[in-house]
Amino acid sequence: MLHLAPGRLEFHEPPSAIMSQIIDISQLLRTGMPVWPGDTEFQPSWMARIEDGGLCNVGSVLMSLHTGTHVDAPLHFQKNGASIADADLSVYIGEARVINALNVKSIEASHIQPFTAGLPPRVLFRTRSLPAERFDPGFSYITPDAARLLVRSGVKLAGIDTPSVDSAHSEAMETHKILGDAGIAILENLNLAGAPPGVYELIALPLKFAGMDGSPVRAVLRTMDAEARHGLP
């Protein structure tokens, strides 16, 4: 907030901004990190290095768009779905609830039901204490019944701290399709280890890849008091 005083300008942060905390809920992109079987692994390289006589450092990365913390575009499971470049960015910014589902293998509608009254437009499921060091096909997932409840509850984005909202053994990928057909954005491979259950502001913007089916994101949560939450989308 800007205050005018004789001979000077003063800027004062509103109380909600001073008290808020940013929690990084993104996985570290690194060599050897787990990826979905068959996907391109994370491969960084240098095109120029100062230590080799270059004027600057220039890096390059080869990887799947579904590496680490990422969002799925409708095109991921719809033949003629929208690409990530056409995503409604407002979906990826706003009020979100982190629901604790630690060590829950399959997230059922019963795990969501207690929160449906006043559920924010964005829901994130915390199922593990730390990100996995290797790909484990036994990861937690959202069941189709739970996905239908999210649809009925008016949710706009569903996120989880595992590689997929569907089971690794699913052949129909029904949860992806239920959410996608309802226009619900999907955010996967979060790192919610430092985010206790509660309500936050989520910011997880995808990159503008033309014609592509997803994008890595730098996802963060911002803590808020009740006054700061008022009016958030």
- Separation between Cα atoms, residue 43 and residue 51, nearest integer Å: 21
By CB atoms closer than 10 A (0-12, 13-18, 19+), residue 152 is exposed
Checking if the pLDDT of 78 tops 50, the result is yes
203's tokens: 């910011």
Contact 56, 46 (CB under 8 A): no
The residues facing 159 across adjacent strands are 124, 187
| Cβ burial 156-170 (10 Å sphere, 16+ → b, else e) | bbbbbbbbbbbbeee
Contact 82, 75 (CB under 8 A): yes
User: Which domains, ranges and CATH numbers included, belong to the chain?
Assistant: 21-229 (3.50.30.50)
Residue 233 half-sphere exposure, CB side, CA atoms within 13 Å?
A: 10
Q: How confident is the model at residue 224 (pLDDT cuts 50, 70, 90)?
A: confident
Q: What is the pLDDT of residue 227?
A: 52
Structure confidence at residue 19 (pLDDT): 66
Q: Which residues of 68-103 are buried (b: 16+ CB within 10 A; e: fewer)?
A: bbbbbbbbbbeeeeebbeebeeebbbbbbbbbebee
Query: What letter would DSSP give residue 134?
Result: S
Check pLDDT > 70 for residue 231.
no
Dig out the tokens for 73 from the structure.
């575009």
State pLDDT tens for residues 88-108.
Answer: 999 999 999 999 999 899 999
Q: What is the pLDDT of residue 20?
A: 84
What radius of gyration do the chain's Cα atoms show?
Answer: 20
Q: What is the DSSP letter of 145?
A: H
pLDDT tens column, 146-166? 999 999 999 999 999 999 999
Please report which confidence band the pLDDT of residue 3 belongs to, taking 50, 70 and 90 as the band edges.
low
Secondary structure tally for the chain: helices H, strands E: 5, 15
Q: Three-class SS of residue 142? A: strand
> Distance between CA 112 and CA 115 in Å, rounded?
6
3-state secondary structure of 209: coil
CA 41 to chain centre: 20
Q: Of the residues 70, 76, 111, 176, which is catalytic?
A: 76
Is 111 a catalytic site residue?
no
For helices 144-152 and 174-181, what crossing angle results, to 10°?
Answer: 10
Extract the tokens encoding 185. Answer: 């954005």
